[in-house]
Structure 1
Amino acid sequence: MSALNHRETSGCLDSKSVGICLLLIVNVLWVLSSELTRFIFVDEEFRRPFFTVYVKSCTLIIYMIRYLLFEAKHDNSYKILISENSIDSETYELSCESLALEGYESVTDVDSDVESIIVDGEKRQRKIRFAERREIRRMPASNAEDQRKARLPYRHPSIECQLYLSRHVKYTLFYFAPLWLLCSFTYQAALAFTSVSSLNLVSSSSSVFVLAFAICFPSANNKFSAYKCLLVIINIAGVLIVSHYIPSFIGALFAQISALAYAVYLFTYGHFEERYGKLDINLMFGTIGVIALVIGTPTLNLLDKFGVEPLHPLPNMTQFSSILFSALIGTIVADYLWLLAAGMCDSLTASLSLTISIPLSFFADTVIRSKAPTLAQILASIPILLAFVGAAYAQSSSVSIRKGLSKRVRKVELSPDNEQLIDSLLDE
């Protein structure tokens, strides 16, 4: 029972509560980064959203360096050095992965061919009978292929070029990286046309898309319920109020596209972790940074060539340092913490957490730009905040129910065998 008591005392801060706290910190960092980006676009008159996203995304290469230095070296296949005098190589291979358990199968032809022999000048027939069953032990598939190739006749070596990508890299290349870049670009582009508070109000509509995905593709962590539907209706009511008063249609359009990409990103991330386990965040962000560097560099020149976004003049020291600082707090730190928090909570709670940035952006606009929130923004923030509080309450209530059930189980007197069995199950 010591393990049970330890878990009971250490369970005061469950993973979902820690995830909600991380989401609050992430929203503070995102608002600061958005205000700094707004300063670059408006005050510094550097309206280049693609260049800004390019620089911020390339900073994620730091995670690839971190992965190569601290994690990739642990993936080596050969970790034990064996001397020639200590053990035979063939014996070592068999000890690493032994043969399967013995099995028996019937022999179709139990009698051998009849042979004629001459014994003491007389011709006799000898008949050999084998057992009706024979023992079968199969070699593991990892070793069987190597053994089969070793028995093949010699052939001249041929050059074969094969590119193997793990499931993690495939999802990052074809799902996470494009969605992350699309979400970041549309969010930065919307900042060039609207305020931070209005942008955050519209971006909170991503919960609607998350709920729609939960209806179409239900899972263990993402299930549709009437309570979740009510929370989304309350949230979208506030979004409709503020969207009516946004002066820029382009800014509202970019904000809505960013909300959709954010919802798809969340749903895909949760779906991957549910089916294949935890993602390696360092490898994922590092891959996104490498993709941004490889694809974004020629894209900048193409946009400059076709007159979509000028590349010259390059940003001055103030503009470039502001972009780097915004990338530090809003991309390198905040996005890393957000991905950790998204793995601890469900996708709807992570999506509704964007609403916390609404009062923070109101406060930032009032202090930094002396722009008080309008009556429509204040009225819209009330139902949006209620939706997030309701989602957080649903998370805490579900956790408390599970804790109550576990406490009831602990009140039952357990035999030593059952106690050991429960400890082993909890360890799994």
Structure 2
Amino acid sequence: MEWVFIMNRMSSQGSSAAQRRRMALGVVILLLVDVIWVASSELTSYIFKRQDYNKPFFSTFAKTSMFVLYLLGFLLWRPWRQQCTGTLKRRRSAFFADAEAYFTPCTTDSTVNNCLVRSLITPDVLHTSKSSCTSSKKQRVRFSNIMEVRQLPSTQALEAKLSRMSYPAAKDHEAMLRTVGKLTITDVAKISFFFCFVWFLANLSYQEALSDTQVAIVNILSSTSGLFTLILAAIFPSNSSDRFTLSKLLAVALSMGGVALVSLSSMDIPDGKGVIGSLWSLAGAMLYAVYIVMIKRRVDREDKLDIPMFFGFVGLFNLLLLWPGFLLLHYTGLEAFELPSQLVWTYILINGLIGTVLSEFLWLWGCFLTSSLIGTLALSLTIPLSIMADICMQKVRFSWLFFAGAVPVFLSFFIATLLCHYNNWDPVLVGLRRVYAFICRKHRIQRCDMLLQPHA
């Protein structure tokens, strides 16, 4: 898109020192997010087990509903307000109409010349061009009277206008340019409506897992969502980069082996809750992968979707549509409805505001300052942090099977992230081809030596 080029040109005005400061700030923010997420998981486990308030549905509903705070952006963020009032839409329509007017149909030679002068030459340049024509005799430069004029289609009018805009003019239209290609408020609300149920079920599975097993086991098994994403993207591809490769197959096999070892280590937990917690963790990872793959099929580019607005509508629909779940779970006996104590209410509010709302905002900000690859790789740091938190805070002792399974899961997360970032990269296939070429070359050399020996 042309507006991406304009915005990249404006963002490249900073020095390298400023870019290094941005990168350092982004890394610090992502590390802070990892700490917040691990602390949020530990606090949730503490509420379920130590405060005797084992209500995963209530906890998920309360924290997800707090996403509605993002909708305050319609009061505080000017571009959102302009979308509501239609001001930005009218400015965009006028901007595009003015761009299409750059290449109006020309019928005569005089109109052709006028069109060329208006679109290609500013008044200052026109004045200098006239003065240069007077001195053309001294320079003895002759121009041909025959010119060729090619009229560009109206579809390229926006490109032509953006390419001629100066930096101050592009800065004046910055808010409007950022909305070019973005989904409207209605489109974002529709996508949020369809995906709020999958998002809620994925988080509910994570909360159920925290109520049954340790935080470290839950985070390790939840990190397999990247592998489920690779599998589902190969089955339901949204573009050519989602094809299945040998490297992705190796990452899946490595992760599945680690998951098996971690699940075996969870069998030491009494009452069989460790196995149930592992199954809940895998279910949450699979649902999150479904959410990622399906939303990628609905939105082809991530810059088209306003992420804070999306989460805000997810919280709103969660608050309006999912409250009947309390009645269903209460009368079926799966989770009796009970209001928490004042202390537990405080924990849930702090956990929701900091561990859910603020952490999502900080993670998006950290990805903006660094890159999506660094932001995704930073998620893997929750695995060692949660292990250390369980060992130091809850005095949990893990078996050797747990650590033997944590290593391949940790490595497969890195591999899956790199394979998703670098599209169509298959290092395993490249390595096998090089080994095959080396073996074939060696075989040909040996064959040539055998043929030359009789002649010698």
**TM-score bracket for the superposition, by shorter chain length:** 0.5 to 0.7
| 1:28-107 aligned within 5 A | 28-71=35-78, 72-75=80-83, 76-78=85-87, 101-102=104-105
Residue number in structure 1 paired with 2:287: 261
Residue number in structure 1 paired with 2:409: 384
Q: Deviations over 1:72-131 (max 9, x none)?
A: 3222334799xxxxxxxxxxxx98986993489xxxxxxxxxxxxxxxxxxxxxxxxxxx
1:77 aligned partner, one-letter code: G
Give the distance between the partners of 1:95 and 1:273, measured in 2 at CA.
Answer: 29
Whether contact under 8 Å (2:226, 2:417) holds in the other structure is no
User: Is it true that 1:172 corresponds to 2:198 in the alignment?
Assistant: no
User: Is it true that 1:331 corresponds to 2:356 in the alignment?
Assistant: yes
Q: Deviations over 1:22-58 (max 9, x none)?
A: 6554332211101000000000110110011111112
Sort the Cα spacing of 1:21 and 1:274 in 2 relative to 1 into closer, same or farther, 3 A: farther
Whether contact under 8 Å (1:242, 1:376) holds in the other structure is yes
| 1:205-216 aligned within 5 A | 205-216=224-235
Sort the Cα spacing of 1:263 and 1:351 in 2 relative to 1 into closer, same or farther, 3 A: farther
1:360 aligned partner, one-letter code: L
Q: Deviations over 1:191-246 (max 9, x none)?
A: 11111111112212212211113323153665544334333332222111101222
Give the distance between the partners of 1:392 and 1:292, measured in 2 at CA.
Answer: 30
Sort the Cα spacing of 1:229 and 1:244 in 2 relative to 1 into closer, same or farther, 3 A: same
Number of aligned residues? 327
Q: Deviations over 1:145-176 (max 9, x none)?
A: xxxxxxxxxxxxxxxxxxx973222111112x
SS of 1:246's equivalent in the other structure is helix
Per-residue deviation, 1:322: 0.9
User: Is it true that 1:301 corresponds to 2:318 in the alignment?
Assistant: no
Give the distance between the partners of 1:379 and 1:98, measured in 2 at CA.
Answer: 66
Of stretches 354-363 and 320-329 in structure 1, the one that deviates more from structure 2 is 354-363
Whether contact under 8 Å (1:204, 1:352) holds in the other structure is no
Whether contact under 8 Å (1:207, 1:351) holds in the other structure is no
Sort the Cα spacing of 1:4 and 1:187 in 2 relative to 1 into closer, same or farther, 3 A: closer
Among 276, 301, 316, the residue aligned to 1:290? 316
Per-residue deviation, 1:389: 4.2
Whether contact under 8 Å (1:37, 1:191) holds in the other structure is yes
Which has the larger strand fraction? 1
Give the distance between the partners of 2:12 and 2:193, measured in 1 at CA.
Answer: 44
Give the distance between the partners of 2:420 and 2:325, measured in 1 at CA.
Answer: 43
SS of 1:274's equivalent in the other structure is coil
Whether contact under 8 Å (1:234, 1:387) holds in the other structure is yes
Q: TM-score, normalization: structure 1?
A: 0.64
In structure 1, stretches of 5+ residues that fail to align are 82-93, 105-163, 399-428
In structure 2, stretches of 5+ residues that fail to align are 1-8, 91-96, 108-183, 268-272, 424-456
Whether contact under 8 Å (1:53, 1:188) holds in the other structure is yes
Residue number in structure 2 paired with 1:111: none
1:73 aligned partner, one-letter code: R
Give the distance between the partners of 1:242 and 1:42, measured in 2 at CA.
Answer: 22
Whether contact under 8 Å (2:230, 2:416) holds in the other structure is no
User: Is it true that 1:317 corresponds to 2:342 in the alignment?
Assistant: yes
Which has the larger helix fraction? 2
SS of 2:212's equivalent in the other structure is coil
Q: Identity, % of aligned pairs?
A: 29
Residue number in structure 2 paired with 1:280: 306
Per-residue deviation, 1:335: 2.6
Sort the Cα spacing of 1:195 and 1:3 in 2 relative to 1 into closer, same or farther, 3 A: closer
User: Is it true that 1:235 corresponds to 2:255 in the alignment?
Assistant: yes
Sort the Cα spacing of 1:320 and 1:266 in 2 relative to 1 into closer, same or farther, 3 A: same
Q: TM-score, normalization: structure 2?
A: 0.61
Give the distance between the partners of 1:24 and 1:35, measured in 2 at CA.
Answer: 17
Greater CA radius of gyration, 1 or 2? Answer: 1
